[in-house]
A and B are shown apart, each in its own frame.
Chain A
Amino acid sequence: MSKNIEVSTNEKTYFLEALKSGIRLDSRAFDEIRQPEITLSKKEYGYVELDWGTTKLAVRVSAEIRKPYEDRPFEGLFMINCEISSMSWPHFDNQKNSNDEVLIARIIEKAIRRSNSLDLESLCIIAGEKVWCITVDLNFLNYDGNFIDAGCFGVMLALHHFKKPDISIVNGGEDIIVHDVNERQPVPLSVLHVPVCLTYSFYNPGNKESNLKGEDDDEIYLLDANLLEEQNREGSIVITLNKNRELIQLSKNGGIPINANVLLELSFKSMKIVDRLTEKIKEVIKKHEAERYEELNLRLLEVGADR
């Protein structure tokens, strides 16, 4: 069985010819992302399903109480487990991690964990003794390109959706009580900023040699490439930004060289999209909270009527 897809010459020539005439095969604009469709779990906190075009993923956030690292007694623990199974695409192996998979996982981790987007100190319960350990399980269900952008967006969404149970410290700091979510309102995580990854793929319509020499710089760049576009790309760059106009990460692993001006241009272009995606997270979560609140109120009313 072949583990990779075969792109026919027909598709490839169509794709490249269309690029030269300024059109994408799925009729998106060059700098247009696929519309994310979000499903938030109504029953539990921290479970999110995301449809990014036909790329699909599921994210679950969970919390447990653990002992902190000895050199960082005030900080909670935060882990992102990135699971790319062969269910999403037979090319990805279940047992061993290929370079692509490691790269995807690391870029997402760098964007979110290492940019301190989660306030770790707020996860501390008793210094040096007990802290919250937040684990994000990221499972990819279907692959149609661009796991990085979708993964990063999904994790940030789930972190906003998640709430950890409330706790109280008794006996002068010796014991802690973890309150059930039905007993006391659970507390949301304190998310300091929302990093958004955007992946641009590069294509060189002209001569390869003159491009390497830097004689022409008419590369075409596409935002949010799908599977076919990803298979044919000649280079890519991941730009991670947040709403505060902070550049968190730039990752360009090989591929054709790009002009510094292009990089600046792309970063500026990304800002609008970052704003829109951040706004989308906030908006969806707000709506979801309102719905949830309404449901809770209804339940309270029912109890009153019973009496």
Chain B
Amino acid sequence: MSGSLIIPGDSLPIDSRDSEIKTTIGPGIYKNPQTQSIIPTNAGVINVQQNKAKTTQLVYVESNSKRYIPQTNDFVIGIVTGVVGEAYKVLLQDFSTAVLLSMMAFPNATKKNRPNLKIGQAVYARVSQAIPEIETELECIDPTTGKEGGFGLLDESGYIFTVNLNFARELLFNPNSIFLEKLASRCKFEIAIGINGKVWIKCGEGIKLEKETSEEEGKTPRENTRDLKSTLAAARYLTKCQKISVESLDQVLDEAFKNV
């Protein structure tokens, strides 16, 4: 039954009372605490995955939405907007409530050795706590190793843009996704995808600020703008990818990289 459309109020294509199969519910599914019955709450494509022994199953609705609601263990990109006490206020989406990123939630951080983030800078972080009633918290440590693990400040030589939430999930979770593969045929890039719909991308060296380039005399300004142009072209390409069919992918890629 996976892959069919479902809207709120439909009955789910599974038998939830069947005690033989243990059901795990994902996004878009609601369990009524009184009756223990489960119903879909989002419109989208239903996904039911059973394991081979048919003892457990996973049910969720794949849908597109604009508002991001933080969930524990999500990887997000946030913009630092302020400091409250010992924590940074971080915005995950425009016009949303700011979430907290404690200064202690960085690797090797102590009271004396604090991270130094400025307002407007972007961080890649993991949602460590998301309970609707209290403030959501982020952290920049990999919980399994206690090390950096790719989290932390995203440097300013990369460009940040926003995409739809389902496209961000597609880029991050779908191993067969062809969008980034196609892009890799054109240029060398570094990318960070936040599940909150923000994408940070840097082609080659990205941009170099003037003070850095003056120290480094070897590079000509033209080489600098080439990286800048290809970063912007990559961002343009990915933004367009949200709305096109697979057949026109090459054409869109060519169009985006026309002037590079």
Contacts of B118 in A (CB 8 A): 9
Q: Would you list which residues of chain B between 11 and 38 have a CB under 8 Å from chain A? A: none
Partner of B228, one of A9, A12, A17: A17
Whole-angstrom distance between the alpha carbons of A12 and B229 in the complex? Answer: 15
CB proximity to A under 8 Å, residues B211-244: 221, 225, 228-229, 231-232, 236
**Does A8 contact B229, Cβ atoms closer than 8 Å?**
no
B236 touches A8 (CB 8 A): no
Whether B232 contacts A10 by the Cβ 8 Å rule is no
The residue that A11 contacts in the complex, of B96, B160, B225, with Cβ under 8 A, is B160
- Mostly helix, strand, loop or mixed at chain B's interface? mixed
Contacting A5 at CB < 8 Å: which of B94, B221, B229, B232? B94
Report the bound CA distance from A296 to B179 in whole Å. 49
Answer yes or no: A7 CB below 8 A from chain B CBs: yes
B95: which of A8, A14, A27, A90 is its contact (CB, 8 Å)? A90
How far is A6 from B198 in the complex, measured between Cα atoms in Å?
Answer: 13
Q: What is the CA–CA distance of A8 and B207 in the complex, to the nearest angstrom?
A: 15
| A contact residues around B94 at 8 Å (CB) | 2, 5-6
Among B2-10, B49-57, B151-159, the one that faces the other chain is B151-159
Given contacts A10-B154, A23-B232, contact A1 B97 (CB under 8 A): yes
| CB of A187 within 8 Å of the partner chain | no
Q: Do A12 and B95 contact each other (CB < 8 Å), given the known contacts A2-B81, A17-B228, A27-B236?
A: no
Contacts of A7 in B (CB 8 A): 120
In the complex the two chains form, is A27's CB within 8 Å of B232's CB? yes
With A1-B95, A1-B96: A8-B232 Cβ-Cβ less than 8 Å: no
With beta carbons under 8 angstroms apart, the residue of B81, B160, B228 that contacts A10 is: B160
A25 at the interface (CB under 8 A from B): yes
Interface string of B143-183 (1 = CB under 8 A from A): 00000000000101011110000000000000000000000
How far apart sit A176 and B120, CA to CA, in the bound complex (Å)?
A: 65
CB under 8 Å from chain A, chain B span 76-104: 79, 81, 91, 94-98
Q: Is the CB of A17 within 8 A of B95?
A: no
Residues of A within 8 A of B95 (CB): 1-3, 5, 90
Tell me whether B96 and A10 are in contact (CB under 8 A): no
* A10 contacts B156, C-beta separation under 8 Å: yes
Q: Flag whether A18 is at the interface (Cβ < 8 A).
A: yes
A residues 19-62 touching B (CB-CB < 8 Å): 21, 23, 25-27
Q: Does B72 count as interface, using CB distance less than 8 angstroms? A: no
Nearest A residue (CB) for B158: A10
Residues of chain B lying within 8 A (CB to CB) of residue A25: 232
What is the bound-complex CA distance between A27 and B233, given in angstroms?
9
Shortest Cβ distance from B202 into A: residue: A10
- Docked Cα-Cα span, A8 to B236, in Å, equals 18
Are B259 and A27 in contact (CB-based, < 8 A)? yes
Query: When chains A and B are docked, how far (Å) is the Cα of A26 from the Cα of B236?
Result: 8
Within 8 A of A (CB), among B98-149: 98, 118, 120-122
Please state if B98 and A2 are interface contacts (CB–CB under 8 Å): yes
Task: With CB as the reference atom, state the residue of chain A lying closest to B232.
Answer: A25
* Cβ contact within 8 Å between B259 and A13: no
Q: Tell me the chain B residues, 181-213 only, with Cβ under 8 Å from chain A.
A: 200, 207, 209
Among B95, B96, B154, B228, max chain A CB count under 10 A is at B95
Chain B residue contacts of A3, Cβ below 8 A = 95
Q: What residues of B have a CB within 8 angstroms of the CB of A14 in the complex?
A: 159, 207, 228, 231-232
Please give, as numbers and ranges, the residues of chain A lying within 8 Å of B228 by CB-CB distance.
14, 17-18, 21, 23
CA distance A11 to B79 in the complex (A): 11
Whether B225 lies near A21 (C-beta < 8 A) is: yes
Question: Given the complex, which residues of B lie within 8 Å of A12, measured CB to CB?
Answer: 120
Closest 8 CB pairs of A and B: A9-B120, A5-B94, A21-B225, A10-B160, A90-B95, A8-B79, A14-B159, A6-B79
Interface residues of A (CB under 8 A from B): 1-3, 5-14, 17-18, 21, 23, 25-27, 90
Interface residues of B (CB under 8 A from A): 79, 81, 91, 94-98, 118, 120-122, 154, 156, 158-161, 200, 207, 209, 221, 225, 228-229, 231-232, 236, 259
Pairs A–B under 8 Å by Cβ, sample size 5: A1-B96, A9-B118, A9-B120, A17-B228, A23-B232
